[in-house]
Structure 1
Amino acid sequence: MRLRLDALGVEVGGTALLRALSLTVGVGEIVGLVGPNGSGKSTALRCVYRALAPTSGAVLLDGRALDSLPRREGARRVAALTQENGSELDFTVEEIVALGRAPHLRGNQALGERERELCRRAMADLDVLHLAGRGVLTLSGGERQRVLAARALVQEPDLLVLDEPTNHLDIRHQIDLLRLLRRTGTTVLIVLHDLNLAAAVCDRIGVLAAGELVTAGAPREVLTPELVRSVFGVTATVVPHPMTGAPQLLYALEPSEGTP
Structure 2
Amino acid sequence: MRLALDGLTVVTDGRSLVRDLSLEVAAGQVVGLVGPNGSGKSTALRCVYRALRPSSGTVWLGEDDLTRLTLRRSAQLVAAMAQDGSVDLDFTVEEVVALGRAPHLRGNQALSSREQELCARSMDRLGIRHLARRGVLTLSGGERQRVLLARALVQEPQVLVLDEPTNHLDVRHQVELLSLLRGSGLTVLVVLHDLNLAAAACDRLGVLSQGRLVTTGTPEEVLTPGLVEDVFGVRASVVRHPLTGDPQLLYAIAPTP
Partner residue, 2:166: 166
Mark the runs of 5 or more structure 1 residues left unpaired by the alignment.
none
CA distance in 1, matches of 2:209, 2:122: 35
Give the equivalent residue in structure 1 for 2:95. Answer: 95
Counterpart-to-counterpart distance in 2, 1:183 and 1:222: 23
Local SS of the residue matching 1:22: strand
State the TM-score, normalizing by the size of structure 1. Answer: 0.97
**Contact kept? 1:235, 1:255, Cα under 8 Å:** no
Q: Indicate the SS of the match to 2:91.
A: coil
Asked if structure 2 preserves the Cα contact closer than 8 Å seen for 1:4 and 1:63, the reply is no
Offset, 1:183? 1.4
Residue of structure 2 equivalent to 1:250: 250
* Deviation sequence 1:227-259 (CA, Å, 0-9, x none): 000000000010011111110001011179xxx
> Which consecutive segments of 4 or more residues in structure 1 shift more than 4 A?
none
* Displacement after TM superposition at 1:88 (Å): 1.9
- How does the TM-score come out when normalised to structure 2? 0.98
Deviations 1:136-184 (A, max 9, x none): 0000000000000000001000100000000000000001111111111
Partner of residue 104, structure 2:
104
Confirm whether residue 36 of structure 1 aligns to residue 36 of structure 2: yes
* Superposed displacement of residue 27, structure 1: 0.3
Distance, in Å, in 2 between the alignment partners of 1:228 and 1:145 is 28
Segments of 5+ residues of structure 2 without an aligned counterpart are none
Secondary structure at 2:156 match in 1: coil
Q: How far apart are the structure 2 equivalents of 1:72 and 1:87?
A: 21
How far apart, in 2, do the equivalents of 1:224 and 1:170 lie? Answer: 27
Q: Distance in 2 between matches of 1:36 and 1:116?
A: 41
Q: CA RMSD in A?
A: 1.2
Equivalent residues in 2 for 1:219-230 (5 A)?
219-230=219-230
Q: Post-superposition shift, 1:87?
A: 2.2
Distance 1:255 1:233 in 2: 15
Q: Deviations over 1:190-213 (max 9, x none)?
A: 000000000001000000000000
- The corresponding residue for 2:179 is 179
The residue matched to 1:167 in structure 2 has which SS?
Answer: coil
Counterpart position of 2:210: 210
* Residues 14-54 of structure 1 deviation map (CA, whole Å, 9 limit, x = unaligned): 00000000000000000000000000000000000000000
Determine the structure 1 residue equivalent to 2:130. Answer: 130
Assess if the C-alpha contact under 8 Å between 1:7 and 1:57 holds in 2.
yes
> Secondary structure at 1:39's aligned position in 2?
coil
